[in-house]
Amino acid sequence: MTIPAGLRRTVLRARRDTGFLAAGVLPHLALVPVWSWAATTTARTGNWLLTVSMSAALVLLGTPVLTVVQRARYRVLIGVEVPRLTPTAPEQWTWASTARWLAATRPWRKIGYHLLLSPLLALLELLVLVVAAAGLACVIAYAWAWALPTGIRQDWFGYLTQLPVYTAAGLLLLCALPWTARAVARAEARLALGLLGPSRAQRLQERVDQLAVSRTDLIEAVDAERRRIERDLHDGTQQRLVSLAVNLGLAIATRPDLPSDAREEIARAHLEAKEAIAELNDLVRGLHPAVLEDRGLDAALSGLAARTPLPVRLRVDLEERVAPSVESVAYFVISEALTNATKHANAMRAEVTVRQVGEVLRVRVTDDGLGGADAAAGTGLTGLAKRVGSLDGAFHVSSPVGGPTTITAELPCAR
């Protein structure tokens, strides 16, 4: 006979949940002897101070052990992972730091769970187990009733008139067992997550920390990929274009017998190859200049200022090299700001200041151009703001009509 898949799943789930509830009875009753002993001893001797202190010490020592047991029970039997609270211990224990550490660990919730709530949960679990045992006993009433002597069976069961009632009641109890056990297991899981695990605010903070770490890893991966593309362009495509330009130049110089129209075409191709090399150089420098990786932000900005068509006053004050992702964003902001000042603002001069103040890298670019730049107008400044925002930085543009234009970026550079 083939058992339907739905019935098989229901039976397995009922067995799992019932086993979970049965395994929780003893841990939930573990602290009952402590407070019952405290109550009886205090009532008998009247020495409540010693009794309360001893019972409190037993509770404080037993709570971490019971918490570990309960976490293992939830994880192994029903697959519910109760997160562990791992607050950082303060470097120096003071009253304020101890209070903050206690607020983070929330020991009173665990104590309340094991000392006050656990006995009630144990009673509820015992009730479900009694229902399961009674239902099973009633279902097999025919089997063990026929094992009794005939006289006892007739006197006890009224000559088998009550056995069908017992069997029907047992079937009803067993049919209700999967849903009852499931409801109690879910209720216990929710209580454990709320009292033994981190609070909602702590879970949100942990999630924010995880997202910050993953975002940092993503930024570093993108920056590494950008450097790889720069190396591939510099070592591969750029070298091929240089070789092509050299060969075309040699062809013009060594073949004076070429027809004039062929020489013109070769000369035009030679010029286009050199222009392509220049454009590729600009593209490579825009992606990630090699000097930025080799010598740092100061050297890269010096080269950028030297290539800019207008006079640039550069001041760089760095205590040490910052993270590569921060260097890349700072260089990109300054490069784009100087490009905008040259192409769009008709500026005559510019000033770039890079300064590290504590754990913040402050970048300031000022030009005496026409002004009127608006970061909210969907221009290239929007891209700069997004790029700075990817590092949790602050980006600000001050550009009144008629100038001057000041672009400021603050980048956190703590490693």
Give per-residue pLDDT as tens, 393-404.
888 888 888 778
C-alpha span between 115 and 38 (Å, rounded): 13
The residue written with tokens 């005496």 in the block is 368
How confident is the model over 298-313, as a mean pLDDT? 84
The answer to whether 302 and 281 have CB atoms below 8 angstroms apart is no
- pLDDT(167) > 80: no
Find residue 361's DSSP bridge partners.
356, 411
Whole-number percent of the chain with pLDDT over 90: 1
Average pLDDT along the chain: 76
The answer to whether 398 and 405 have CB atoms below 8 angstroms apart is yes
pLDDT for the residue numbered 10? 79
How confident is the model over 403-407, as a mean pLDDT? 84
CA quadruple 110, 113, 118, 124: dihedral positive or negative? negative
Which among 390, 265, 272, 409 is positioned nearest to 337, based on CA atoms? 409
pLDDT for the residue numbered 224? 65
Three-state SS for 342? helix
Which among 316, 325, 128 is positioned nearest to 222, based on CA atoms? 325
Q: How confident is the model at residue 346 (pLDDT cuts 50, 70, 90)?
A: confident
Lowest mean pLDDT segment, chosen from 79-88, 200-209, 214-223, 289-298 = 214-223
How confident is the model over 152-169, as a mean pLDDT? 66
* Residues 6 or more apart in contact with residue 334 via CB below 8 angstroms: 301, 304, 352, 354, 363, 365
- pLDDT(88) > 70: no
How confident is the model over 98-114, as a mean pLDDT? 68
Whole-number percent of the chain with pLDDT over 70: 71
